[in-house]
Amino acid sequence: MLYGVEGQLREGARSVDTGDFADAVDRHYPGLVRRLTLVVHDGEEAKDVAQEAYLRAFQSWDSFEGTDARAWLHTIGLRLAFNRLRRRRLWDRFVRGERDDPSWVMPERIDLWRALADLRPQQRAALLLNVVDGYTQAEIGRMLEHPEGTVASWISEAKRQAREALREDPDR
């Protein structure tokens, strides 16, 4: 890759304005890392996935339609995270066994982390995108490439499971 004049990156015959890309996406990095951390359960791995998402976004910047850079980045990042989770699931099952609570979770929030950790990755992502990030079910459906009704079902089931997991034991 060769840098040309005025912040343009030349890649073969294609020219990408790095300033436009940075203006559109840089402010979304912290939110993407937070979201991916809750999906992959590891802050450092979330940063790796976010960086890979930014690289992929940059590589396909010329095909971006310009509607919602945040949703576009979340879509790329979540797909990468789901792929990593599938690969990790096999590794965990055969090598690591039981999962440990992460050291980066505040002790008073460990029950919430465990409740979210017990959700299927798609349910967890849909719930967080809806409740925390404010995306509609239709937007989440486009991001995760599933029908809106499926997303609604994931969110509903995730809320039910989380409520059940967080409900205090009446015998305590």
pTM over 0.75: no
Q: Which of 61, 79, 78 is nearest to 69 (CA)?
A: 61
Distances (CA, A) of 43 to 35, 39, 47, 94: 10, 10, 6, 23
**DSSP-H helix ranges across the chain:** 18-25, 29-40, 43-59, 69-91, 110-117, 121-131, 137-144, 148-166
Which of 56, 90, 106, 62 shows the shortest CA–CA distance to 76? 56
pLDDT at 170: 46
Strands 2-3, 8-11: parallel, antiparallel or unpaired by DSSP?
antiparallel
pLDDT of residue 101: 53
pLDDT value at position 8? Answer: 42
Residues of the chain with confidence (pLDDT) below 70 = 1-19, 89-109, 168-172
Residue 53's contacts (CB-CB under 8 Å, 6 or more residues apart) are: 32, 73, 76, 77, 80
Q: Identity (one letter) of the amino acid at 64?
A: F
pLDDT given for residue 3 in this prediction: 33
Confidence (pLDDT) at 120:
86
Alpha-carbon span 42 to 8, nearest angstrom:
34
Q: Which residue has the tokens 């919602």?
A: 68
